[in-house]
Amino acid sequence: MNKKVPSSSGFHSKSLSGVSSIQSETPSSESLVWVGVCWTEVLYLQDLLQRCARKRAAKEGKVCHGRTIQAGLQTDTLTSNILINMYSKCGLVDFARWVFDRMPERSLVSWNTMISSHTRHGEEEEALDLFMQMQREGITPPSEFALSSILCACAAKSAVFECQQLHAFALKNEMVSNVFVGTAVLDVYAKCYLIKDACRIFDRMPDRSAVTWSSMVAGYVQNDLYEEALMLFHRAQIIGLEQTQFTLSAALCACASLAALIEGNQVHAVSIKTGFGSNLFVAASLIDMYAKCGSIEEAYFVFSSVKEKNVVLLNAMISGFSKHARSLEAMILFEKMQQMGISPNEVTYVSVLSACSHMGLVRKGQRYFDLMIREHNVYPNILHYSCLVDILGRAGMTHEAHDLIERLPFDATASMWGSLLASCRIHGNLEVAEVAAKHLFEIEPDNAGNHILLSNIYAEKKRWVEVARARKLLKDNGVKKEMGMSWIEVKGKVHKFVVGEGNHPQIAEIFAKLEDLAAEMMKLGYKAEIEHDLHDVEEDRKEELLRHHSEKLALTFGLIESPPCAPIRIKKNLRICGDCHSFMKFASRITGRKIIVRDTNRFHHFSDGSCSCGDFW
DNA sequence: GTAGGGTTAG
């Protein structure tokens, strides 16, 4: 504070209760050289502003701002810095910038605070511009504060090149050992899928904070390294670090992706023990984890236990119901959320529309699609259109679905054409199928599934010449079908099975049990649906290939290894084929077990010979 | 007076 301010004529000391007016006392700090202004009152105002920042009290903050002007403090750097911070914390970044732009003299803190304010509010470009301006004006070198803020902007923009430059700068200036800078660099690398670089930084950091640990756990999750994420989470537990809501939600996300229910249960226990069980982020992750691990009841239990619900929590629950073919519950919750005064957003509508698609509810789906724009001002994105294409196609309205794709306001995705092709397979529409396949072969030439689907449609129509052509095309292009894989968690360990698996230590036992099971099923009428196999081999071989689909191997392993009445939960990397679907139905009847299969699209709950999807999937 | 991390979507 190096400017003399005018007299305190406009200063309403009376309004500041409990503060006596002490004129021009000797200041305790060099920065408080005041002429005619009570410095204790200045301190009081600054303290008030900081309290407003902590309480996110924008209205009171604005009143305080008015008082600082009345006190003639508009030229004071320290007060302005506090004002910028207050406005930033209250979410009024424009007001913060207004103060910043009018400062006659800015300190390093002014720049740092303003840059972080822009970053915090998702204005990465403004943050970067300001950072560059800072360099141009010779306010160098940037401090650790500016560096960590600007790295945060890089993370949001996936600006890996800028991050590398800043990292080099930090190394040169020995700033990388600063825990804020180190963590921010680590986070950007992880978000830019340079997980090895992120790991290297983590390993070399002299000090790690709770944020460093949670950034690394989340980094692994963002890079689909779920097992590594859980290992790091456990490492933190072992060395006695307190888990935070951040590590907990990231670890739960890993469990959800792995379909690791037992592991997820353990993380749930830690969440309760640490008092984060009702944190909205943790609770939403818990709901999602339970739903994705096949336990919709436990997901609902968590949902019910949270008193103050938000839109993400509701979306997680609605999405869970939708995936588990519980469309009625999804729709009831959709109505309830509005009664609670929470508006559905675009995520809600994706789940509600996909619930309609899973259940074949055409009219309901179309009604939701209209409602979305009309009532809630939510404009349909590519996922909403995808759902609608799926709803129409599955219901046999393949021409309507095709028309919709042709009228889209953007380019149709492979998933849309794929959905249409699959619908054509169900409803035998060869004409539209050929159009869909043509687009798919262009968009994703390496996807063998599309060739197989088209060939199946030809085979059904007994168009053998075209079947042969499709097979030749598949062979000539060297297109490989994505290897089918299934995972099952037994005794807390996730076991992976690949189609035709031969290396599992218990494979002989699994094959023997599988044969017994199939023999028993055949007595009840099961017949291998060999049309689901498109290998160019004899029928016997086809049957064997089908028999060794990964989900069948995982099921048999589960039957051998788990307690007699325990449900069997399987996760698969592709959509379940018709033969495996039928196999699971028979298996649930013979063994009396509940079998829950999560494929890339949804859940199938098999019980006593039938499936929750009602054979519509 | 200023800095870094987490949730829901066919």
What are A506-515's pLDDT values in tens digits? 999 999 999 9
For residue A614, the model assigns a pLDDT of 86
For residue A16, the model assigns a pLDDT of 29
Strand partners, A603: A598
Which helix (H) or strand (E) is A275 found in, with range?
A: none
Domain boundary among A418, A449, A476: A476
Which of the 50-89 residues on chain A come under 7 Å of nucleic strand B at their beta carbon?
50, 53, 77-78, 81-82, 85, 88
Does residue A454 approach strand B to less than 7 Å at its CB?
A: no
* In a shared domain, residues A491 and A607: yes
Does residue A590 approach strand B to less than 7 Å at its CB?
A: no
* In a shared domain, residues A472 and A583: no
Does residue A243 approach strand B to less than 7 Å at its CB?
A: no
Provide the b/e sequence for A338-357 (b: ≥16 CB within 10 Å).
eeeebebbebbbbbbbbbbb
Q: Would A434 be classed as within a structural domain?
A: yes
Q: Would A107 be classed as within a structural domain?
A: no
pLDDT above 60 for A611: yes
Mean pLDDT value across residues A342-362 = 95
Does residue A378 approach strand B to less than 7 Å at its CB?
A: no
* In a shared domain, residues A586 and A521: yes
Does residue A356 approach strand B to less than 7 Å at its CB?
A: no
pLDDT above 50 for A29: no
For residue A10, the model assigns a pLDDT of 30
Which of the 479-498 residues on chain A come under 7 Å of nucleic strand B at their beta carbon?
none
How big is chain A by its Cα radius of gyration, in Å? 31
For residue A388, the model assigns a pLDDT of 96
The DSSP 8-state label assigned to residue A241 in this structure reads P
Q: Could you tell me the distance in Å between the CA of residue A265 and the C1' of nucleotide B10?
A: 28
For residue A472, the model assigns a pLDDT of 81
Does residue A119 approach strand B to less than 7 Å at its CB?
A: yes
Q: Would A118 be classed as within a structural domain?
A: no
* In a shared domain, residues A455 and A562: no
Mean pLDDT value across residues A140-161 = 93
**Confidence grade of residue A459 (pLDDT, cut at 50, 70, 90):** confident
For residue A264, the model assigns a pLDDT of 97
* In a shared domain, residues A439 and A544: no
For residue A533, the model assigns a pLDDT of 58
Residue A119, nucleotide of least CA–C1' distance: B3
Does residue A210 approach strand B to less than 7 Å at its CB?
A: yes
For residue A483, the model assigns a pLDDT of 84
pLDDT above 50 for A4: no
Which of the 125-154 residues on chain A come under 7 Å of nucleic strand B at their beta carbon?
143-146, 148-149, 151-152
pLDDT above 70 for A603: yes
Total number of domains constituting chain A:
2
Does residue A39 approach strand B to less than 7 Å at its CB?
A: no
* In a shared domain, residues A467 and A519: no
Which of the 289-318 residues on chain A come under 7 Å of nucleic strand B at their beta carbon?
311-313, 315-316
* In a shared domain, residues A528 and A571: yes
Short-list A553, A545, A531, CA closest to A485: A553
* In a shared domain, residues A454 and A519: no
Domain boundary among A418, A447, A476: A476
Does residue A29 approach strand B to less than 7 Å at its CB?
A: no
Closest residue (Cα, C1') to B9 = A347
Average pLDDT, chain A: 89
Does residue A221 approach strand B to less than 7 Å at its CB?
A: yes
Mean pLDDT value across residues A419-435 = 92
Q: Would A193 be classed as within a structural domain?
A: no
For residue A37, the model assigns a pLDDT of 62
For residue A24, the model assigns a pLDDT of 29
A314 Cβ contact partners less than 8 Å away, ≥ 6 residues apart: A333, A337, A342, A348
Does residue A96 approach strand B to less than 7 Å at its CB?
A: no
**Confidence grade of residue A469 (pLDDT, cut at 50, 70, 90):** confident
Does residue A266 approach strand B to less than 7 Å at its CB?
A: no
Residue A383, nucleotide of least CA–C1' distance: B10
Mean pLDDT value across residues A398-412 = 94
For residue A1, the model assigns a pLDDT of 37
pLDDT in tens, A587-596: 999 999 999 9
**Confidence grade of residue A3 (pLDDT, cut at 50, 70, 90):** very low
pLDDT above 90 for A233: yes
The DSSP 8-state label assigned to residue A248 in this structure reads H
β-strand pairing of A493-498 with A568-572: unpaired
* In a shared domain, residues A498 and A469: no
pLDDT above 60 for A12: no
Residue A313, nucleotide of least CA–C1' distance: B8
Q: Would A549 be classed as within a structural domain?
A: yes
For residue A367, the model assigns a pLDDT of 96
Q: How far apart are CA A20 and CA A459, in angstroms?
A: 93
For residue A122, the model assigns a pLDDT of 93
* In a shared domain, residues A495 and A603: yes
Which of the 415-434 residues on chain A come under 7 Å of nucleic strand B at their beta carbon?
415, 418-419, 422
Q: Could you tell me the distance in Å between the CA of residue A601 and the C1' of nucleotide B4?
A: 36
| Chain B nucleotides reached by a protein CB under 7 Å | 1-10
Does residue A185 approach strand B to less than 7 Å at its CB?
A: no
For residue A535, the model assigns a pLDDT of 56
> What is the Cβ-side half-sphere exposure of residue A499, based on CA atoms within 13 angstroms?
18
For residue A105, the model assigns a pLDDT of 95
Neighbouring C-beta atoms of residue A260, cutoff 10 Å: 26
For residue A77, the model assigns a pLDDT of 97
* In a shared domain, residues A495 and A597: yes
Which helix (H) or strand (E) is A212 found in, with range?
A: helix A210-222
**Confidence grade of residue A538 (pLDDT, cut at 50, 70, 90):** low
pLDDT above 90 for A362: yes
Name all contacts of A205-209 with Cβ < 8 Å and 24+ positions apart: A205/A177, A205/A179, A206/A177, A207/A177, A207/A179, A208/A179, A208/A183, A209/A179, A209/A183
Short-list A403, A301, A288, CA closest to A347: A288
Q: Could you tell me the distance in Å between the CA of residue A114 and the C1' of nucleotide B3?
A: 11
**Of the listed ranges A136-140, A322-326, A375-379, the one predicted with least confidence:** A136-140
Mean pLDDT value across residues A376-405 = 95
Mean pLDDT value across residues A562-569 = 92
Domain of residue A435: give its range.
430-476
Q: Would A518 be classed as within a structural domain?
A: yes
For residue A26, the model assigns a pLDDT of 30
pLDDT above 60 for A167: yes
Short-list A201, A238, A239, A233, CA closest to A220: A233
User: Of A277-291, A449-463, A566-580, which has the strongest mean pLDDT?
Assistant: A277-291
Q: Could you tell me the distance in Å between the CA of residue A354 and the C1' of nucleotide B9?
A: 10
Do you know the residue count of chain A? 617
* In a shared domain, residues A454 and A496: no
Q: Would A502 be classed as within a structural domain?
A: yes
pLDDT above 90 for A447: no
Does residue A155 approach strand B to less than 7 Å at its CB?
A: yes
**Confidence grade of residue A609 (pLDDT, cut at 50, 70, 90):** very high
Q: Would A507 be classed as within a structural domain?
A: yes
Mean pLDDT value across residues A224-240 = 96
